[in-house]
Structure 1
Amino acid sequence: MQIREMIPQDRKSLRKLYLESRRRTFYWDDPLLMHEEDFDRDTQDEQIFVAIEQQQIVGFISIYLPENFIHCLFIHHEFQGLGIGHLLMQQAKKVTQRPIRLKCLSRNHEALAFYEKEGWQKVHEVKLHDPYWEMIFPD
């Protein structure tokens, strides 16, 4: 497993991974409203690291460094549960200052369990149309 910074040639694979992962994870949203180009918009101005296994991108994390905010963490469904999310989180911890923040939808129970296992703490649940937890990784 290799973790490295994204290069321009990765964009096509990342767009596809992001779209497929969102459609699978956020099954309650209309999949027709999700597009490959969303990756470009949703990761603009963010530092992106990719996980490579057998020359294939199997996951990525995007970080908005000015706010130490993890915006995206997606792992290809066939590679979940193998420690890739943990490795990407370790990389994020190397390039950010503490505390690190993220948001996780309240109904995304698998992701919440992952973050808590990784040492993240729930701070506050924001009760909007689609409630989410603000979480921090403390000092």
Structure 2
Amino acid sequence: MIIREAKMADYPQIREIYLASRRQSFHWLNAEDMNLHDFDHDTLEEQIFLVEESNQILGFISLYVPDRFIHLLFVHPEAAGQGAGDLLLKHAIKVLGTPVTLKCVSDNHNALSFYQKRGWKAVVEEGEQGERYWVLVYDGM
């Protein structure tokens, strides 16, 4: 697997991954309200890296560099559990330095477990009822 910065030519495939992953995992949202162009809106002003194998994009991560913030980390459902997410997370930490923060929806138990197994600490739960999320921090310790 290799990691590289995303190019505009990659966006159609990345949009598909973003949509497919959210529709499968975000059970608390209405899947019909999601569309391919959510990706463009949700990643404005962010640096995007992808992981690929045999010229197939497996997942991506988007970073808001000024705040050392990981905004999105998504792996195609068919590539889940193959190490792509872990590689993207390590790369983001290398790019951003520490401490790094991210937010994870409280109902996304699989993602919370993924981060905590890799040394991320849940600091505070915020948001309104039905839209709660954890702020997680990684300080490299």
Deviations 1:98-119 (A, max 9, x none): 2100000111010000000111
Partner of 1:61: 61
Query: What SS is found at the alignment partner of 1:86?
Result: helix
Partner of 1:110: 110
Partner of 2:135: 134
Instruction: Evaluate the alpha carbon distance shift between residue 82 and residue 133 of structure 1 in structure 2; reply closer, same or farther with a 3 A threshold.
Output: same
Q: In structure 2, what is the Cα distance between the partners aligned to 1:28 and 1:86? A: 25
Q: Does 1:34 align with 2:56?
A: no
Deviations 1:22-41 (A, max 9, x none): 11110221111111001001
In the alignment of these two chains, the number of paired residues is 139
Query: What SS is found at the alignment partner of 2:115?
Result: helix
> Percent identity between the aligned chains?
47
TM-score, scaled relative to structure 2 = 0.95
Partner of 2:97: 97
TM-score, scaled relative to structure 1 = 0.96
Deviation at 1:127, TM superposition (A): 4.3
Deviations 1:67-94 (A, max 9, x none): 0000000001111111111100111011
Q: In structure 2, what is the Cα distance between the partners aligned to 1:14 and 1:82? A: 18
- Structure 1: which amino acid aligns with 2:125? E
Partner of 1:9: 9
Partner of 1:47: 47
Query: What SS is found at the alignment partner of 2:28?
Result: coil
The Cα RMSD (Å) is 1.0
Deviation at 1:65, TM superposition (A): 0.2
Partner of 1:24: 24
Q: In structure 1, what is the Cα distance between the partners aligned to 2:127 and 2:94? A: 32
Deviation at 1:97, TM superposition (A): 2.6
Partner of 2:74: 74
- Where do 5+ consecutive residues of structure 2 fail to align? none
